[in-house]
Amino acid sequence: MRKNVLIVYATRSGTTREIAETVAEILRKSGFSTDVQPAKKVRSIESADAVVLGTAVRMGMLMPEVMRFVKKHRNKLVEVPVAAFAVCLAVKDDTPENRKAVAGYLNPLKKEISLVSEAVLAGAIHYARLGVFARFVIQKMVKAQEGDFREIEKITEWSTDVARRFRSS
């Protein structure tokens, strides 16, 4: 019998959703059944044998809808294996300073539930997907360049590890 994996995400510009879909594809190729849903729309997780949480990071903070999801479904989440990934631009340049800066991004989740695997992955900036205010902040204040900084090799490696851990749970 195939294990059902629910992949829950929160995104502002769509990059985290796209990574969640890539994770789902890799898990399906590894023999799992997957369902990818935005955190705001999930009503029940009772049929999930495992869960992957994905969240964008804005100003060093996880998306609030992911934290609300975890608190709402905590009783079930402590019974199944859970993996989580955060998407941010701080890891697009792999430096000791950046690794230190992102090391605690998933700590708010880990205070609520245990994770069998975690990753902080580079995302993308597409100005056209951003609202006026967010675009202004990114361009003028943060001075972040537009571009796609996702590393499919890291996403694939992490997803494959998640499949292995879910299989042995």
Mean pLDDT along residues 56-69? 92
Q: Please give the pLDDT value at position 109.
A: 95
| Residue 146 neighbours by CB under 8 Å, 6+ apart | 125, 126, 127
pLDDT tens readout for residues 16-35: 999 999 999 999 999 999 99
Domains of the chain: 4-167 (3.40.50.360)
Buried b (16+ CB within 10 A) or exposed e, 43-58: eebeebbbbbbbbbbe
Reported confidence tier of residue 148, pLDDT bands at 50, 70, 90: confident
The alpha carbons of the chain give a radius of gyration, in whole angstroms, of: 16
CB 148 within 8 A of CB 129: no
Sign of torsion over alpha carbons 108, 64, 18, 140: negative
Q: Please give the pLDDT value at position 34.
A: 98
CB 49 within 8 A of CB 77: no
Q: Please give the pLDDT value at position 131.
A: 66
